[in-house]
Amino acid sequence: MSDIQLNDPQTLYRRWEDSQWNPFSIDLDRDREQWEAMAEEDRALIYWALSSLMVAEERITTKFSGLVGAHCSEEEATFLSTQQVDEARHMQFYARFRDEVIASPEVIAAHVARAREQVSDAFRHIFDDELVAAHEKLLAAPGDLATKVRFVTIYHLILESTLGLTSFRFITGYLEEQELLTGFVDGYSKIHHDETRHIGYGVWFLRETVREHPEQADTVRQTLRDLLPSVAEALGGAGDEGPDLERLGVGTDEVRQFALDGLTRRLGIIGVPIETL
Ligand SMILES: [Fe+2]
Ligand SMILES: [Fe+2]
């Protein structure tokens, strides 16, 4: 499995120390020129995709601290605190891109508010209802194993893996093919590298937990049953009012299949085969 690093938190933490990057050092000069010159349809499509990323990283940054508090070892606490820094860094990169390439400089909240106008109801349900509720429960009960398992299933398995890796694959595939926004692709690729570490933690945690507490497989299954209809809808794009996703050169079926294949592989490793959902 090339895009998952299955390691324990201490190994992932050591890898984090060797993987630092600065969102303000990425060269965005060429992106600015290209953005100005881009066809209106391309700009609308890319703006829609970037808006989803902006909203997602804001949610993912501010709805995470409960998991740091729910750690079971010092090594896990260490790794999770690095993930919190990573997510803030990702949010900063997308905000900087909006500041310097797309729009006039704003505070992050204003960028997020504008980006929110672009996202679908299904997307909003996942990030604003399900993630927020799971995080609030975890803050209230950090020692409750089922609550932690539901949170990691939503955060690492659904948001970061199933939605995140799929978005990365098709957005960067399109931009690289069109030779557009090389600075953005550079930053997004560094973000992706961080995300593989985060997903490595999530898969490790769920696999170890299901092995030691087999009844928690049901928590994983129930969480997926609750969320997957919205995930499938969110992967269908922006709806009738949004930009034409076909411009990416791929159909909705291909996008959904890519997401499902990744989820199937990860569930196999965790020990909750997708056939048992
Ligand atoms: Fe992130
Ligand atoms: Fe992440």
Distance 86 CA to ligand 1 centre (A): 6
Distance 135 CA to ligand 2 centre (A): 15
- Indicate if the pLDDT at residue 26 is higher than 80: yes
pLDDT of residue 2: 47
**Residue 239 pLDDT greater than 70, yes or no:** no
Please report the sign of the dihedral spanned by the C-alpha atoms of residue 244, residue 171, residue 86, residue 259. Answer: positive
Q: What is the pLDDT of residue 237?
A: 66
CATH 2.40.10.120 fits 9-276, yes or no: no
Q: If pLDDT is split at 50, 70 and 90, which confidence band does 249 have?
A: confident
- As a whole number, mean pLDDT of residues 254-261 equals 94
From the CA of 16, how far away is ligand 1's center (Å)? Answer: 14
CA distance 73 to 52: 34
- Model pLDDT, residue 103: 75
Domain boundaries, the chain: 9-276
Question: What tokens were used for 160?
Answer: 């970061």
| Spacing, Cα 240 to ligand 2 middle (Å) | 29
Q: What per-residue confidence (pLDDT) applies to 125?
A: 96
Ligand closest to Cα of 190 equals: 1
Asked whether 151 and 135 are in contact (CB, 8 A), the reply is yes
Task: Report d(CA 37, CA 103) in Å as an integer.
Answer: 15
Residue 6: pLDDT band (50, 70, 90) is: low
List of residues 6+ apart from 56 with CB closer than 8 A: 127, 159, 163, 164
Q: What is the DSSP string of 138-158?
A: HHH-TT-HHHHHHHHIIIIII
Look at residue 222 in the predicted model and tell me its pLDDT: 98
* Res. 35 pLDDT band, cuts 50 70 90: very high
- 229 by DSSP, 3-state: which? helix
Cα 78 to middle of ligand 1, angstroms: 17
Residue 5 has pLDDT above 60, yes or no: no
User: Is a pLDDT exceeding 50 seen at residue 14?
Assistant: yes
Going from the Cα of 87 to the center of ligand 1, the distance in angstroms, rounded, reads 4
63 Cα–ligand 1 center, Å = 12
Neighbours of ion ligand 1 (CB under 5 A): 87, 90
Spacing, Cα 153 to ligand 1 middle (Å)? 16
For ligand 1, the distance from its centroid to the CA atom of residue 190, given in whole angstroms, is 10
Q: Which ligand lies nearest to the CA atom of residue 16 in the structure?
A: 2
Question: Ligand 1: distance of its center to the CA of 208 in Å?
Answer: 23
Q: Span 27-36, mean pLDDT? A: 95
pLDDT exceeds cutoff 50 at 8: yes
Question: Which ligand has an atom closest to residue 91 CA?
Answer: 1
For residue range 98-133, list pLDDT tens digits in order.
999 997 788 999 999 989 988 889 999 999 999 999
Mean pLDDT of the region 209-229:
97
Query: Model pTM?
Result: 0.95
pLDDT tens digits along 49-102: 889 999 999 999 999 999 999 999 999 999 999 999 999 999 999 999 999 999
Q: How far apart are CA 87 and CA 195, in angstroms?
A: 9
Give whole-number Cα distances, 60 to 16, 72, 105, 144, in Å. Answer: 18, 21, 22, 21
CA dist., res. 158 & res. 149, Å (int): 12
Cα gap 148→48, rounded to integer Å: 32
CA dihedral 55, 57, 62, 68 (to 10 degrees): 150
CA 156 to ligand 1 centroid distance, Å: 10
How remote is the CA of residue 194 from the centroid of ligand 2, in Å?
A: 7
Contact 155, 60 (CB under 8 A): yes
Distance 204 CA to ligand 2 centre (A): 15
Q: What is the pLDDT of residue 247?
A: 74
Q: Look up residue 174 and give its two tokens.
A: 């399109």
Tell me: pLDDT of 270 over 90: yes
At 240 the pLDDT is 58
Position 264: which residue type? Answer: T
